[in-house]
């Protein structure tokens, strides 16, 4: 009995070992200790003949003078980057050139943009995160609060980045936490049949809307209910603001302006659009409804972003893109910036930084990103060459754009401000009451952080 049990156990253990051994290689994490692997690979190199692709660009900041004409041997080192489905293919192509020149493998993991942040938050502290992520600049508040990001050095060509895009990635400590790749902002899109000359002020928007409606179109200007993001240019046009800015351009969470005079004036204008019957208090216009109303010719003017253009083109409505109208001052939309961030827990930070400086911050790479995914490039040599009239117009409207605040306090704004706008739009609160409620709810939420 005892012998038998022993036999059974040993068979079991052996079987487990075999299975575990089969399973283990897949589990081995990618970024291993580089030194020993480097040696073995370097010695084994001559027997291997990597694809003889002529290097297109010499590494700009390379400190050595050794020639690099021949393709590099596999060094056994890899760099992991998480990117969305739009930009992962570009990075994969770039990875081939990178490997040919440096012998370092670029592992590109494609993830939905929404998953990159949450997965990174989970993975980075355990050491199994990527070396680089590609994401939006307003993530850095939350990621920095947990100490997950390392400051990024923009390298010798830093001057080529659009200054406001770099500003967007600058945190309250004055350091830059991302290398900008593309920027995004909203603008006024109008139906050229219904609106021959675009409005330059929000008062004009109102009078035009009244005329257009009188002429039989359902809406002149249409916007989605609530939604602080698309409301922000209206708010700023009347002198309102969310956070005050410090002298260096960073946002000050102490200075909350949701019920400032300008913010109330903006809500008052919006309320008057409903009060005059130019918008419908109960219509519950969502973003999708707003776009389809524009596509059907039921709305003459909307505020939206470059993502709306494809649908509008497909619908065949004659349209044009122009600057946000002014109230007491030009309306400033939020600017969102996409860029590369470096994991503070990465063991390969210098490699990651060098990769970004010498392989990403180049005309060729930035142009490739733009060709694949036409967003306004944060790399001015590429942005200056944009031919597309719509993108040019969005870029023009973005000249006054303000970076979306990257401080954690901004996350507290969306709920309270959105509710207040909705309550004013549906006629449940006066503009002053709505602004006061937003101010008190948001400041309570910030205090509770």
Partner 1 sequence: MSAATQKVPGGAQAPPGAAPTSILGLILRILALALIDGITIWLVYQMVFDGYWPLAATLALVTIWVNIVFLSGRFYPLRYVAPGLALMVIMVLYPILFTFYVSFTNYGTGHLVTKELAIEQIESQTYLPPDATIYQWTAYRNPAGEYKLWMVNPNDPTDVFTVVPGQEPVARTGEPPAELEGFTQIPTNQLFGALGALSSLTFGVKPDSAFQVSQTALGQAAQYEQLYVYDPAQDAMINQQTGEVYYNVNGTFTSESGATLTPGFAAVTGLQNYVRLFTDPTLSSTFLQVFIWTVVFALLSVLLTFVLGMFLAIVFDVPEMPLRAPLRSLLLIPYTIPAFVAVPVWVGLLNPQFGVISQMIAAITGGWVPAWFSDPMWAKVGILLIQTWLGFPYMFVVVTGALQTLPNDIYEAADLDGANAWHKFQRITLPLLLVTVGPLLVASFAFNFNNFVVINLYNQGGPPMPNVPTPVGYTDILATYTYNIAFGAQGTQDYGYASAITMMIFLILFIITQFQFRFTNMLEERGRNV
List the interface residues with partner 1, window 244-273 (CB under 8 A): none
| Choice from 89, 125, 257, 287 touching partner 1 (CB under 8 A) | 125
User: Any idea what DSSP says for residue 73?
Assistant: P
What is the nearest approach in angstroms of partner 1 to the Cβ of residue 205?
A: 20
Sheet containing 187-191, strands listed edge to edge, beginning at the edge strand earlier in sequence? 219-222, 299-304, 187-191, 319-322
Inter-axis angle of helices 261-275 and 413-425, nearest 10: 40
Name residues whose C-beta falls within 8 Å of residue 389's C-beta, 6 or more positions apart in sequence: 320, 321
Name residues whose C-beta falls within 8 Å of residue 8's C-beta, 6 or more positions apart in sequence: none
Rounded Cα distance, 445 and 351, in Å? 40
Nearer to partner 1 among residue 13 and residue 215 (C-beta):
13
DSSP string, 324-392: PPBSSSB---EEEEEEEEEETT-S-HHHHHHHIIIIISSHHHHHHHHHHS-SEESBHHHHTT---HHHH
Taking CA atoms, 360 is separated from 156, 320, 376, in Å, by: 12, 33, 16
CB-facing half-sphere around the CA of 341: CA atoms within 13 A: 33
Stretch touching partner 1 by CB under 8 A, among 208-216, 306-314, 316-324, 419-427: 419-427
| Choice from 49, 51, 52, 66 touching partner 1 (CB under 8 A) | 66
Draw the binding track, 285-314, toward partner 1 (x: CB under 8 A; -: no contact).
Answer: xx--x---x---------------------
Are the CB atoms for 273 and 212 separated by under 8 Å? no
| Choice from 3, 49, 52, 64 touching partner 1 (CB under 8 A) | 64
What is the nearest approach in angstroms of partner 1 to the Cβ of residue 222?
A: 11
Site for partner 1 in 68-97 (CB under 8 A): 68, 70-73, 75-77
Is 5 near partner 1 (CB under 8 A)? yes
What is the nearest approach in angstroms of partner 1 to the Cβ of residue 224?
A: 12
Nearer to partner 1 among residue 183 and residue 354 (C-beta):
354
Site for partner 1 in 149-168 (CB under 8 A): 150-153, 155
Rounded Cα distance, 186 and 202, in Å? 16
Nearer to partner 1 among residue 328 and residue 411 (C-beta):
411
Helices (H), 193-259: 202-214, 228-237
Is 279 near partner 1 (CB under 8 A)? no
Is 428 near partner 1 (CB under 8 A)? yes
Nearer to partner 1 among residue 45 and residue 210 (C-beta):
45
Nearer to partner 1 among residue 176 and residue 391 (C-beta):
176
Is 39 near partner 1 (CB under 8 A)? yes
Is 30 near partner 1 (CB under 8 A)? no
Nearer to partner 1 among residue 36 and residue 163 (C-beta):
36
| Choice from 95, 233, 325, 408 touching partner 1 (CB under 8 A) | 408
- Encoding tokens for residue 122? 């989970």
- Encoding tokens for residue 92? 């994969």
Is 34 near partner 1 (CB under 8 A)? yes
Is 432 near partner 1 (CB under 8 A)? no
Residue listed under structure tokens 């390392």: 150
Is 62 near partner 1 (CB under 8 A)? yes
3-state percent helix, strand, coil for the chain, nearest multiple of 5: 50, 15, 35
| Choice from 107, 113, 210, 283 touching partner 1 (CB under 8 A) | 283
User: Any idea what DSSP says for residue 99?
Assistant: H
- How many chain residues are in contact with partner 1, going by CB under 8 A? 107
Nearer to partner 1 among residue 84 and residue 153 (C-beta):
153
Is 350 near partner 1 (CB under 8 A)? yes
Rounded Cα distance, 177 and 184, in Å? 18
Site for partner 1 in 214-233 (CB under 8 A): 226
Is 191 near partner 1 (CB under 8 A)? no
């Amino acid at each position: 009995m005892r012998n038998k049990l022993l036999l059974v156990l040993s068979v079991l253990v052996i079987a487990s070992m075999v299975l575990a051994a089969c399973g283990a290689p897949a589990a081995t994490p990618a970024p291993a200790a580089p030194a020993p692997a480097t040696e073995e690979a370097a010695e084994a190199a001559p027997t291997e003949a990597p694809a003889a692709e002529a290097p297109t660009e010499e590494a700009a900041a390379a400190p050595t003078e050794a020639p690099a004409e021949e393709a590099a041997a596999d060094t056994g080192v890899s760099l992991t980057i998480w990117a969305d489905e739009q930009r992962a293919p570009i990075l994969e192509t770039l990875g081939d050139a990178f490997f040919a020149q440096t012998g370092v493998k670029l592992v590109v993991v494609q993830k939905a943009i929404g998953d990159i942040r949450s997965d990174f938050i989970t993975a980075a502290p355990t050491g199994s995160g990527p070396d680089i992520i590609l994401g939006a600049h307003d993530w850095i508040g939350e990621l920095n609060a947990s100490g997950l990001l390392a400051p990024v050095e923009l390298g010798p060509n830093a001057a080529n980045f659009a200054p406001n895009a770099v500003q967007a990635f600058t945190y309250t400590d004055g350091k830059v936490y991302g290398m900008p790749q593309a920027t995004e902002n909203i603008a006024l899109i109008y139906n050229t049949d219904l609106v021959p000359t675009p409005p330059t002020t929000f008062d004009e928007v109102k009078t035009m809307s009244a005329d257009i409606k009188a002429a039989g179109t359902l809406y002149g200007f249409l916007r989605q209910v609530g939604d602080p993001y698309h409301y922000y240019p209206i708010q700023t046009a009347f002198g309102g603001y969310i956070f005050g800015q410090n002298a260096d351009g960073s946002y000050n969470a102490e200075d909350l302006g949701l019920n400032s005079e300008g913010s109330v004036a903006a809500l008052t204008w919006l309320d008057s659009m409903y009060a005059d019957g130019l918008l419908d208090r109960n219509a519950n216009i969502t973003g999708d409804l707003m776009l389809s109303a524009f596509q059907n010719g039921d709305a003459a003017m909307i505020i939206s972003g470059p993502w709306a253009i494809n649908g509008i083109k497909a619908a065949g409505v004659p349209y044009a893109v122009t600057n946000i109208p002014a109230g007491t001052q030009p309306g400033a939309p939020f600017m969102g910036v996409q860029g590369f961030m470096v994991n503070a827990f990465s063991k390969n930070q210098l490699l990651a930084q060098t990769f970004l400086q010498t392989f990403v911050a180049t005309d060729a790479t930035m142009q490739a990103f733009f060709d694949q995914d036409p967003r306004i490039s944060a790399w001015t040599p590429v942005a200056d060459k944009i031919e597309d009239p719509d993108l040019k117009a969005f870029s023009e409207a973005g000249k006054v754009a303000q970076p979306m605040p990257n401080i954690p306090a901004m996350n507290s704004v969306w709920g309270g401000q959105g509710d207040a706008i909705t309550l004013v739009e549906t006629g449940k609160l006066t503009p002053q009451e709505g602004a006061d409620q937003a101010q008190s709810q948001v400041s309570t939420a910030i205090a509770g952080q």
